[in-house]
Structure 1
Amino acid sequence: MVPSTSRLRAYLAEARDPHNAYRRLVVLPPPATLAPTAAALEAPAIAVTSATDLPVGSVRPDDAGALLGHEYRDILIDVREGLDLDALAAAAGAVQGGGLLCLLVPALPDWPSLADPGLARWLSWPAEPVDAAGHFRRRLIRLLREDASVMIHPAAPPPLPPPPPPTAPAADPQCATRDQEAAVAAVLGVASSPRPHPCVITADRGRGKSAALGIAAARLAASGYASILVTAPRRSAATTLLRHAGADVTPAVRFLPADELLRHHHDAQLLLVDEAAGLSGPVLEALLQRYQRVAFATTIHGYEGTGRGFRLRFRETLERIAPEYTALHLATPVRWATGDPLEAFLFEALLLDAEPATGVTTPDSPPQVEHVRASALAADERALRELFGLLVDAHYQTRPEDLRRMLEAPEAAIWRIVDGAGHTIAAGLTLEEGGLPRDLQGAILHGERRLRGHLLPQSLAAHAGLADATRLRHRRVHRLAVHPDLQRRGLGRRLLTAITEAAAADGLDTAGTVFGATPELLAFWRSAGFDPIHVGHRRDAASGTRAAFMLRPCSAAGRALTSLGTTAFANDLPWRLAGPLRDSPAALVAALLQGLPFPPPTGRDRAIAAAFAHGHRGADDAGAAIQRLLLSAGAGGLPEALSPTDRALLIGRFLQHQGWATLAAEASASGRRQVTDRLRRAVAMLLAVAPQ
């Protein structure tokens, strides 16, 4: 019998905290249904569901991120349509103190074995939700039953602890807490200080940091500031900031994507960077160097990536570039009380606060790599927390859905290295790709068909023209992390070697990877035996990087594909550097050149380059010969005697065909003559080391 609306309303009323301090999670298995449950919610309320004919407003799970920055008394999520962990975390952040987050779920004993529609977008073709394991769902059900603060209908709710004593109110009437008041003052201080220094504001979700940035921006705009720029990984991540800043009514506050801020010069009296942990380290460093007055804010334990890695790595950048920076951490929640049960449960269930193990040691040499079963990992909370904490720390865009995919996707495999005490000190997540049917290969090659998953082979076929990539079978390294205290000791390479050897033993053709290309990462993957096959043309808006595709062969067919791919990449690279990769940093171009099969320069090439070096030829007349000389030298590594500026000039002129004004700005030179003089000296150095 379906519970009546009145009975549900009475049950939910019993669950509420009468002090409006704590929030609670309510689980509603059958016979609860959508419409009566929605009708029992207390306004303002909203449902996360694809259904629309409800007594409350609704938002689709894919759009749940739009709830951030808004407040609701109750929120209902229809999990029967599919469990979306990102939507769950986003919705929880919008529930007010005293409110409820209600989950409409399948029968708990049956849930792990059901075909969950929420997995459809994460599984690689031809897998369907019915093929997924239920390990994450089994763990979630266990945690729900073990947590005394969670209500599972129809069980009576246990009593809530008394609310903590009230915190002292802020003196500023626009601020909800003293923490938020201090954050507003810090941002105003960045804008007004005679000596530019950045500030960094960190907080868990719901502490009012984005609102603090917006309040400060509104006050600055009202006082006459005409150019306050805002950026974030996505515009939606800055919604709260922009609303509090009144960006819709004042032209002084504008949002611009981070890559736009770096591609073109924009005058700014102040730059506000919200959810900074969702941007890559190189992008954050570039923003810090380009804009004088910057305030950064980020969520530390959020669902949109981690702030812990940001906190650790960006601190080093700040201490190097701007050691006088101000750091604040907001601890007091704005909309609910400290010790909120819903927040505590989500931290545990979604591992939002997972961090690497402490007190780790270097393992015996050589360390042993373990292939970990997802079922065992899901049942071992310490091991799961340590391993996922490593991945979160290393990859700034790791999200709760990555946790579920790791534990339930049939194509996923988990690898780790442990120290003597059993702590995880290195971890990898791989995905099986390729082996696609022959009748689909042509359509993929010509860009007419794109299957779910299989990123590596489909991209190599469609964008690099490697038809066999879809036929062969690959083990793609999706995530790789080494404990921050044990890096640069060979653990990452050891892990990759074991993954590659296992791929060969399993009859696969290659191990591969796709990542945002930087000189450091290219050097690391090369040192592990991987060769570059393709570089994407589009920059990622959050990282500012282009995707690099690399392979390490595991079979004869894999060696043939890798050889063909590297040769094709080398042949195409000169054109791409003058076209879609023209704005790539010189250090990245130099890293791409290393190890590629460029032919040595001919005697004629050397003679023409020498004529340029001695002032007998112009750069345009000698350019083609110097390009071949530069490619050949770059394959073996450009000479260390060349300064970074000289490398940038050589690459910019002879590979990327940059204009003289751009080159002069790079070299801080007065014009073409000074740039040419430096190029002549640099070419002379190349001639001294280039292969004969």
Structure 2
Amino acid sequence: MYPINPKEAIKKVLSEAERSGERRVLVIKGHEFNSIKDVVEELSREKSVLCVGLPETGNVRTISYEETDSVLGSTFDALFADLSDELRPNDLGILVETVRGGGIIVFLVPDDWLSRLTRFQRELISPPYTERDVRQAFKRRFLESLGSEGVWLLDGEKLMGVERSVEKKKTEKPQSDDPVESLSMSEDQLNVIRTILSSAASPKKQIIAITANRGRGKSAALGLAASLILGRRISRSIGVTASSPDGVQIFFSFLKKGLEAQGMKYNEVKRDGKTVAVISGRRMVFYRSPISMSELDIRIKIVDEAATVPVHLLFRIARKSRLSVFATTVHGYEGSGRGFTMKFLKAMESKNTRFLRLEMRIPIRYPEGDPVELWLYRLLLLDAEPASVKEDEIRYEKLDPEKLDEEKLREFYGIYVLAHYRNRPDDLAMMLDAPHHHMRAVLMGDNVVAAAQICEEGRLNKSMIDAIMERKDSPPGHMIPSRILVHYGNKEFCKLWGWRIVRIAVHPELQGRGIGSRMLSFIHEEAEDAGVDWIGAGFGASPELLKFWLKNGFLPVHMSPQRSDVSGEYSVFVIKPVSEKARRSIEELNAEFKRRILSTLHDVYFDADPEVIRLVLSAGTHEERPRLRFSQILRLRDYIREFNTYEMASDAIKELLISYFMSRAGSLPEDAERILIAKNLQGRPWPLIVRIARKKTMKETIDKVRECVRSLYELYSDVLPRLE
């Protein structure tokens, strides 16, 4: 290979891209932007060029990395980005996807790239670790991925890569006389638009699921279809949701294009700079959070990036609409579509409801088989899959991110992709580079069958503790100690060393066999040997997850006072003591936590799932005697004897329940605990208690509540007068 300078390299690689109609990547190592400035200006005269993190040049559009989201949905012929001081994997995924087929992506990196930190890497530093402790595994992964077909590296004067000779494929845009349909860029998009439109016009209940890889124009098709529903007066309102308003901005962009194509005027409603509603005359399309959308009873609902929304909310959204459209990326930085496919779609297909499933395969900006798409998928593990299961003995293994081979990393990360986690490229880089994050696996034979990501927390000094308490610039990380400080002021706990389990997941074919619990046991043993004081976790509180953590000896110590807008769940933090010093502290925290929950159930947590509350109150035993006055005992006994109503004894029942859940939880049947929590501690109305108690009539429900209270009273026969 003869010596070549940056300008010549760009022209050579771009020429190959133009001949093939595919995209090409060129990474230029060890050269400043000035060496290619002339080429950038020359290209900008004939092509659309985007520069990121570079000095402004002529008429070229130049943005900072903080503005990456602003180019979502845009298309360029060339991208130039300086990775010297910033390489944020989420941005990498977004920016590469803005370049059309026949275009080039040029990244600049310095010679000493592996000995310096990007801004993203600096954000990964959590005390007591320093800059020297940050790993460079993701950058190495990036550099090692270069030199394959379509992905070139210019190192000094040496251009390395594999020439790819393919003929330019002709792609014909679908034809339609309809002005909105003519905006579609592929037959897949046109099919989605027409299917949604015909289903919206049908009087029958319909569920449509759309799956696609990234770059297939899924959100654009949804927006165009919605514009036709309004334009043809099929429905006066459409609700759209995603995990946040950011997730529906492309949808709204194409909704507006569709309305404009029909000559329809509209007004936008914005919140924090994001479109949340478009109104045209008496018709409107509006955004709501997933939890709010699940509670709305409207005719048409659209869920974009459905994989990022908890499955139980998807079922509720489908239940309360005549037409519900669920679209998601199967492989992408928005989230994992695999859990959506395995759980939601399989359940929908098994029901009698009219169900349609569409798949979008054709890329919009570049041809199928584009080598840059394949490179990006491999680099960011967007298509990672767990290994095939072969029965064997299991063993626990610490994985070193800097020595981990590609196959094992893909198996490890593939388990997360199939789990309920929302996976983003930033998460991968954090796992590989953050000094306080660690990877642990359970292997069956040579294959990963369970994965855990651990984050070190605690060991805070006085200045860090004071910064958190005073809401100043608190140290990054330390999620559990921060909440303990803010809610309890327990400074001693925050000096202890803890491991927070950020993620834990088991191969889907092996779930329910105790492997997750075995992994927690392995982690506990390792923590003991290392001198760690506690292990903890934080998660959206569902009964299934709570049961898993509680059965493994973890105690709840905090529950968020607000529901998540996305999942509708309250976040719960649980901790398991490892050292004796931590045990005393955690038991005190659990006792205080239970008292706080019990005293705020009627207010802060009045709408929480009674089963979730039952579970968080079932862990931990703390001696507490009932404090009933004589008049309360009298009214309580008369209620049990059916001499008076529930309302006359409610205050006495509450006093007894507070003592029960502090000291004797689990002594009553689970259904009795749920009923008493819902009626007495949360103050739910009687019609709702009928459903919770699973009774047919109000009388049966009233009798059931009285029976539960009688059983509760008899538990305290040692301290209360006996019933005659």
TM-score exceeds 0.5: yes
Matched, 1:406 2:431: yes
Secondary structure of residue in 1 paired with 2:403: helix
Deviation for aligned residue 1:434: 0.7
Residue number in structure 1 paired with 2:241: 231
Moved more, 184-193 or 394-403: 184-193
Matched, 1:255 2:264: no
**Aligned partner letter, 2:309:** L
Residue number in structure 2 paired with 1:240: 250
- How has the CA–CA distance of structure 1 residues 315 and 502 changed in structure 2, closer, same or farther, with 3 Å as cutoff? same
Conserved 8 A contact 1:586-1:648: yes
- How has the CA–CA distance of structure 1 residues 29 and 286 changed in structure 2, closer, same or farther, with 3 Å as cutoff? same
Write out aligned runs for 1:15-414 (5 A). 15-18=16-19, 21-33=21-33, 36=37, 38-42=40-44, 43-49=47-53, 55-107=59-111, 110-145=112-147, 147-153=148-154, 155=159, 158-164=163-169, 166=171, 169=174, 172-224=181-233, 225-246=235-256, 248=278, 250=280, 251-262=283-294, 265-319=295-349, 323-358=353-388, 360-364=389-393, 367-377=394-404, 380-414=405-439
Deviation for aligned residue 1:77: 2.3
- How has the CA–CA distance of structure 1 residues 167 and 383 changed in structure 2, closer, same or farther, with 3 Å as cutoff? farther
Residue number in structure 2 paired with 1:521: 545
Moved more, 80-89 or 235-244: 235-244
Q: Residues of 2 paired with 1:271 and 1:209: CA distance?
A: 16
Residue number in structure 2 paired with 1:540: 564
- How has the CA–CA distance of structure 1 residues 500 and 83 changed in structure 2, closer, same or farther, with 3 Å as cutoff? same
Q: Residues of 2 paired with 1:562 and 1:132: CA distance?
A: 31
Deviation for aligned residue 1:55: 4.0
Q: Residues of 2 paired with 1:230 and 1:451: CA distance?
A: 37
Deviation for aligned residue 1:674: 8.4
**Aligned partner letter, 1:239:** Q
Q: Residues of 1 paired with 2:10 and 2:239: CA distance?
A: 46
Conserved 8 A contact 2:438-2:453: yes
Q: Residues of 1 paired with 2:164 and 2:285: CA distance?
A: 47
Q: Residues of 2 paired with 1:618 and 1:548: CA distance?
A: 36
- Which residue of the other structure, out of 439, 454, 460, is the alignment partner of 2:484? 460
CA shift digits 1:117-161 (9 cap, x unpaired): 22122332343444311122112211113x131122352772442
- How has the CA–CA distance of structure 1 residues 4 and 501 changed in structure 2, closer, same or farther, with 3 Å as cutoff? closer
Residue number in structure 1 paired with 2:504: 480
- How has the CA–CA distance of structure 1 residues 402 and 669 changed in structure 2, closer, same or farther, with 3 Å as cutoff? same
Secondary structure of residue in 1 paired with 2:525: helix
Deviation for aligned residue 1:254: 0.9
Q: Residues of 2 paired with 1:641 and 1:589: CA distance?
A: 12
Write out aligned runs for 1:415-454 (5 A). 415-420=440-445, 422-454=446-478
Q: Residues of 2 paired with 1:517 and 1:511: CA distance?
A: 18
Secondary structure of residue in 2 paired with 1:376: coil
- How has the CA–CA distance of structure 1 residues 606 and 298 changed in structure 2, closer, same or farther, with 3 Å as cutoff? farther
Deviation for aligned residue 1:229: 0.5
Residue number in structure 1 paired with 2:266: none
Moved more, 88-97 or 130-139: 130-139
Moved more, 280-289 or 31-40: 31-40
Deviation for aligned residue 1:239: 1.4
Conserved 8 A contact 2:330-2:336: yes
Deviation for aligned residue 1:92: 1.7
**Number of residue pairs matched by the alignment:** 675
Q: Residues of 1 paired with 2:563 and 2:70: CA distance?
A: 25
Deviation for aligned residue 1:532: 0.6
Residue number in structure 2 paired with 1:652: 678
**Aligned partner letter, 2:82:** D
Residue number in structure 1 paired with 2:612: 588
- How has the CA–CA distance of structure 1 residues 363 and 531 changed in structure 2, closer, same or farther, with 3 Å as cutoff? farther
Matched, 1:571 2:595: yes
User: Structure 2 length normalisation: TM-score?
Assistant: 0.86
Conserved 8 A contact 1:38-1:55: no
CA shift digits 1:174-205 (9 cap, x unpaired): 32222222222332244233331211100001
Deviation for aligned residue 1:274: 0.1
- How has the CA–CA distance of structure 1 residues 438 and 156 changed in structure 2, closer, same or farther, with 3 Å as cutoff? closer
Deviation for aligned residue 1:620: 3.9
- How has the CA–CA distance of structure 1 residues 299 and 362 changed in structure 2, closer, same or farther, with 3 Å as cutoff? same
Deviation for aligned residue 1:517: 1.2
- Which residue of the other structure, out of 705, 709, 712, is the alignment partner of 1:683? 709
Moved more, 230-239 or 461-470: 461-470
Q: Residues of 1 paired with 2:15 and 2:229: CA distance?
A: 46
Deviation for aligned residue 1:628: 4.0
Conserved 8 A contact 2:24-2:150: yes
Matched, 1:495 2:519: yes
- How has the CA–CA distance of structure 1 residues 69 and 619 changed in structure 2, closer, same or farther, with 3 Å as cutoff? farther
- How has the CA–CA distance of structure 1 residues 433 and 179 changed in structure 2, closer, same or farther, with 3 Å as cutoff? same
Moved more, 195-204 or 606-615: 606-615
Conserved 8 A contact 1:614-1:680: no
- How has the CA–CA distance of structure 1 residues 40 and 523 changed in structure 2, closer, same or farther, with 3 Å as cutoff? farther
CA shift digits 1:84-105 (9 cap, x unpaired): 0000001122221212222122
Conserved 8 A contact 1:285-1:317: no
- How has the CA–CA distance of structure 1 residues 559 and 66 changed in structure 2, closer, same or farther, with 3 Å as cutoff? same
Deviation for aligned residue 1:514: 1.1
Deviation for aligned residue 1:419: 1.2
**Aligned partner letter, 1:29:** K
Secondary structure of residue in 2 paired with 1:581: coil
Secondary structure of residue in 2 paired with 1:83: coil
- How has the CA–CA distance of structure 1 residues 408 and 443 changed in structure 2, closer, same or farther, with 3 Å as cutoff? closer
Q: Residues of 2 paired with 1:466 and 1:582: CA distance?
A: 27
Secondary structure of residue in 1 paired with 2:383: coil
Q: Residues of 2 paired with 1:596 and 1:50: CA distance?
A: 57
Q: Residues of 2 paired with 1:190 and 1:575: CA distance?
A: 49
Deviation for aligned residue 1:392: 2.1
Conserved 8 A contact 1:198-1:322: no
- How has the CA–CA distance of structure 1 residues 426 and 106 changed in structure 2, closer, same or farther, with 3 Å as cutoff? same
Secondary structure of residue in 1 paired with 2:84: helix
Deviation for aligned residue 1:453: 0.8
- How has the CA–CA distance of structure 1 residues 623 and 670 changed in structure 2, closer, same or farther, with 3 Å as cutoff? same
Deviation for aligned residue 1:675: 6.5
Deviation for aligned residue 1:22: 1.1
Deviation for aligned residue 1:372: 1.4
Conserved 8 A contact 2:6-2:28: no
Q: Residues of 1 paired with 2:608 and 2:284: CA distance?
A: 32
Deviation for aligned residue 1:458: 1.3
Larger radius of gyration: 2
Q: Residues of 2 paired with 1:320 and 1:684: CA distance?
A: 43
Q: Residues of 2 paired with 1:241 and 1:83: CA distance?
A: 28
- How has the CA–CA distance of structure 1 residues 601 and 583 changed in structure 2, closer, same or farther, with 3 Å as cutoff? same
- How has the CA–CA distance of structure 1 residues 641 and 118 changed in structure 2, closer, same or farther, with 3 Å as cutoff? closer
Conserved 8 A contact 1:512-1:552: yes
Q: Residues of 1 paired with 2:49 and 2:634: CA distance?
A: 77
CA shift digits 1:448-475 (9 cap, x unpaired): 4521111111121112333223211101
